[in-house]
Structure formats: structure tokens, C-alpha cells
Amino acid sequence: MRPSGRDLSEMRAVSIETGVTKHAEGSCMIRMGDTHVLCTATLENRVPPFIKGSGLGWVTAEYGMLPRSTTSRMRREATSGKQGGRTVEIQRLIGRSLRAGVDRVALGERQITIDCDVIQADGGTRCASITGGWVALRLAVDKLMKAGDIYSDPLIEPVAAVSCGIYAGQPVLDLDYPEDSEAGVDGNFIMLGNKQLIEVQMSAEGATYSRDQMNQLLDLAEKGVGELVSAQRAAVDAA
């Protein structure tokens, strides 16, 4: 029933390749099917003005799409003079989600910026950015710990995200672009590795939904996050 032939609760093939750029303190290319996002972590010994002197660290994120990551070419945001509303919304979500898995006292007064740049898009880029962004963050933190700059691990649980939705009347896991553009309900579910919830966003895109349907999507999302966390751990261990 799904355009890709996947089962209702089947994710796309996930791969996470680490060490893909030589300059960043942590990096990976995450591929969820045909969605490919390059995630890099930049470590700086400074924090934003509003927490200067607090002893707390900060994790923030930026998001972008290459102009031809999409079926038809998008205008480059640098030429239109600003980031669009969708971009701002997504990068705020990525930063907020990753911070939920960080002990900011343990991190100490330093900032880690996660850049998520979509090389190829086929649905689910914000979720892939969070999942891959956590791997880049993990690698940058490992570097800090190896260097003896911090002693207590500020990352207690992995953070991962997956989209679920109601497509053709059925709850499905990990929407690809053909599904996403037709789904009646579309949700993003961000969790810790232990399934505690960080953020839930569920929008009616044409049909409203019941609490029952909401719970079915949450069940699927828990399954998906479990698989993503395994992929994150494998990638980090192999790095």
C-alpha cells in the first residue's frame, strides 16, 4: 500500500557515516533512504551573552537545504536575504531537542553548534537532522573528554527523532516525500533513548485526528526511535 512497498511499521534503510569532513570536531552523513543530511559539530569556547558567566554550556543548531536537494530547485536563502519561516522553525526544533539530552552543567561554559545541511531531500529531513546531529554532537563531546577538557559525560541519553503520519487512512512509520505530501496527519516525535518524550508535534494536514490515532502513531514512533538509537550507537562505536 505504501508507494515504497514498505510495511506500515517499516523504516527506510538507515546509515550513518562518521568523519566525513576534516575540519569539524564531529561530523556524519546520515542517510534515511534517499534523504541525506550532512551534520557537523563546531566547538567554541564561548557562549551566547544571555548565559555568559553562568557556568552553563549551550548547544544550538542551524539548518539549510542545498538549492538542488529537492525535486525542483529552491531559491538559495542567502540570495533571498533571509531564512524562511520553515527553516527557522526547524533549526529551533533541532537545537531545543538536542539540548534536552545535554547536562549543561557538565558541558561547562562552551558552545557546540550543530549544522545540518540537506544534500538530498526525500521527506523527514528535520528528523534525520536531529538523529544525525546527535551523532555529530556525541563525537565532539568524545573529543573534549579524550582531551581531558571535561570529566563527566554531559550526554546521558541519545536523542533521536522520527516522523509518523496517517497515510491513506493508515498509521505509517517514517514518511518519505510521496507519503508526506499526501498524508492527512503528520507528526514528528523526538525522544531520548529511554523513550521519554522531548517533543511531540502532530498536525492535521487535511483531516483532524482522534486521541486513538495519536496513540497509534506514538507506538510506531517508539519502535522507530529504538531502531535509530541502535544505528547511532553503532556509528559512534565504529568511529
Query: Are residues 130 and 191 in contact, defined by beta-carbon separation less than 8 angstroms?
Result: no
- Compute how many residues bind a second copy; rule: CB under 8 A: 56
Is 44 a binding residue for a second copy by CB under 8 A? The answer is yes
28 close to 235: Cβ distance less than 8 angstroms: yes
- Asked if 45 touches a second copy (CB under 8 A), the answer is no
Is 87 part of any known ligand binding site?
Answer: no
Min dist CB 106 to a second copy, Å, is: 15
40 annotated to bind ligand: no
132 three-class SS: helix
Nearer to a second copy, 52 or 76 (CB): 76
- 3 vs 234, which CB is nearer to a second copy? 3
Residue closest to 101 by CA, chosen among 86, 116, 112 = 112
Q: Are 166 and 209 in contact (CB under 8 A)?
A: yes
**Does residue 131 belong to the site contacting a second copy (CB under 8 A)?**
no
First and final C-alpha spacing in the chain: 38
**Window 199 to 218, contacts with a second copy (CB under 8 A):** 199-204, 208-211, 214, 218
List C-alpha distances in Å: 233 to 126, 173, 221: 20, 21, 18
Contact letters (x/-) for a second copy, 46-65, by CB under 8 A? ----------------x-x-
Closest to a second copy by CB, 11 or 121: 121
133 near a second copy (CB under 8 A) = no
Residue 180, interface with a second copy (CB under 8 A)?
Answer: no
**Is 131 one of the annotated binding-site residues?**
no
- Annotated binding residue 126: yes
> Minimum distance from CB of 148 to a second copy (Å)?
22
DSSP conformational letter for 183: -
Tell me how far apart the alpha carbons of residues 156 and 193 are, in angstroms, rounded to a whole number: 9
HSE-CB for 44 with a 13 A CA cutoff: 11
Does the protein bind a second copy through residue 115 (CB under 8 A)?
Answer: yes
Q: Which three cell numbers stand for residue 202?
A: 502532530
Closer of 14 and 218 to a second copy (Cβ):
218
Alpha-carbon distance values, 191 to 115, 200, 239 (Å): 20, 9, 23
- Quick one: 191 exposed, middle or buried, by C-beta within 10 A (0-12, 13-18, 19+)? buried
Q: Is 176 among the residues that bind a second copy (CB under 8 A)?
A: no
Binding site for a second copy (CB under 8 A): 21-24, 27, 34, 38, 40, 42, 44, 62, 64, 66-71, 73, 76-79, 81-83, 85, 87-89, 92, 96, 100, 113, 115, 117, 119-121, 191-192, 196-204, 208-211, 214, 218
- List the binding residues: 86, 124-126
